[in-house]
Amino acid sequence: MSESDLLANILLTFGSRPGLRIWRSNVLVARDQSGRVVRAGVKGQADISGILAPSGRRIEIECKTAAGRQSPEQRRWQAMIEKYGGIYVLARSVDDVERALSAT
């Protein structure tokens, strides 16, 4: 399964779960019509961000294929999220997210 397919499946599976709100997080660099560079997002941030109710705890989900590896920036993002009490899921399947949510 590709990372984009996994991402879509996770959003579809968990997007309407009570007590959980998740959304796609994009990092991009583009040029506007005048040629200026426009950046959005934070390099290394996870593919999906969210929040758990009622605790307000942050969840970040990075989607990877079986062979996919985190970049150094993604590992730093994971460390920051975990340092501040958030949940970081390195998801290679929908089941990885389910296990992480069940453990909270």
Q: Which helix (H) or strand (E) holds 34?
A: none
Contact predicate 50/22, CB 8 Å = yes
Burial of 34-43, coded b for 16+ CB within 10 Å and e otherwise, reads: eeeeeeeeee
Q: For the segment 6-57, what is each residue's pLDDT rounded down to a tens digit?
A: 999 999 999 999 999 999 998 889 999 999 999 898 999 999 999 999 999 9
**pLDDT value of position 104:** 81
| CATH code of 94's domain | 3.40.1350.10
Count of domains forming the chain? 1
pLDDT of residue 22: 97
pLDDT in tens, 43-83: 999 999 999 999 999 999 999 999 999 999 999 999 999 99
**Structural domain harbouring 46:** 3-102
Query: Taking 90 as the threshold, does the pLDDT of residue 91 lie above it?
Result: yes
Q: CA dihedral defined by 20, 48, 25, 13, rounded to 10 degrees?
A: -70
pLDDT at 46: 97
Q: Is the pLDDT of residue 1 over 90?
A: no
Distance set, CA 81 to CA 2, 15, 35, 103 (Å): 25, 21, 34, 17
